[in-house]
Structure 1
Amino acid sequence: MKAAVMNPQEGIPRYVECPNPVVSSEDEILITVRAAAIKHVDRSKASGTHYSSEAYTLAEARVIGGDGVGVLADGTRVYAVGVTGMVAEQAVIEKDRMVIVPNHLDDATAAALPNAVIGAAMALRFRADMQPGDTVLINGATGFTGRVAVQIARRYGAKKSLLQVVILNHCRPFWR
């Protein structure tokens, strides 16, 4: 099986041939991976700056990617968190950590969305304790996660979105 592996000493992932992942309990299942997201944590691990980078050495290179989209043996397309790395042809996932991907969503989008959605939703709901009817200012709403946050705020019942103010102020020269 082909996979992207990394170790902190080299600092960049390599695409190599490696053994197929093995299901080790009845709570796990094998999927054929179709898309995986590479996030900042993956880059940190690859460069050796993430706290978990000390857990393995040059001889213990690992397949990268913590989540992605794949197909089960029965053809069901799912988003899942991997037990093994997800930037590979196959990966092991936990059965209770997967959701079916809607047909209208392509694989790459389905793999990329959860990082932004979870980050934005947790910030709004748990950190800011957003309630229906609140006015929400999302600074930096011109980026991907910010744009997702605006949509989530509306879904959570935000009375008013200050996205337009942020975009206008962001585009104006600072000296005016």
Structure 2
Amino acid sequence: MSVRSSLLAILSEGPAYGYQLRGDFDLRTGGTWPLNVGQVYSTLERLERDGLVDRSGSDDEGRVRYTLTAGGSAEVRSWLTTPVQRQATRDELAMKLAIAATLPSVVISDIIQIQRSSTLAHLQSLTRTKADAAAPSSTADLAWSLVVESMLFQAEAEVRWLDHTEAVIAKAVRQGLVGAPASTAADTTATRVPR
């Protein structure tokens, strides 16, 4: 998520100071993305340097307000109308399972089961959180709901991917692409991951 673009978008509603922007950001993202106020102010300094915001005075308590410039407004429009491109980033779980699949002494089904249990617990927690929430009655409730639902869908997708990965590994073992580590109690060469 672009903190820079998010702050610009919030400023499109009117002037604000750093702490106010941080609070608005937390409210609009359901508090799921912790944002340090120092990060807000350093981002505002860069936005000012880049001509996307201006200082527009201060309030009675001396807090500097920032206002969006014409360039900042154009940046917000561009951000909102440009599709998000998913970048091929390092997925730690995918890398872990890929490496584990190449280690003959590892019982990968144990690793998958541990992850599946953790992901299912997270999914259940999110489901309870969503079920306990009332229907959105404000824009903040709506924003929070959208974030939680995104996390729900991601957890569901991870469980499906783990099921798929387990089937692919089982097929690879049957085809002899990877060895099946011995899992007998007498065999100490296999790294069994405790459940």
Q: TM-score, normalized by length of structure 1?
A: 0.29
Query: In terms of Rg, which structure is larger?
Result: 2
Q: Decide which structure has greater helix share.
A: 2
Higher RCO, 1 vs 2 (CA within 8 Å, ≥6 residues apart): 2
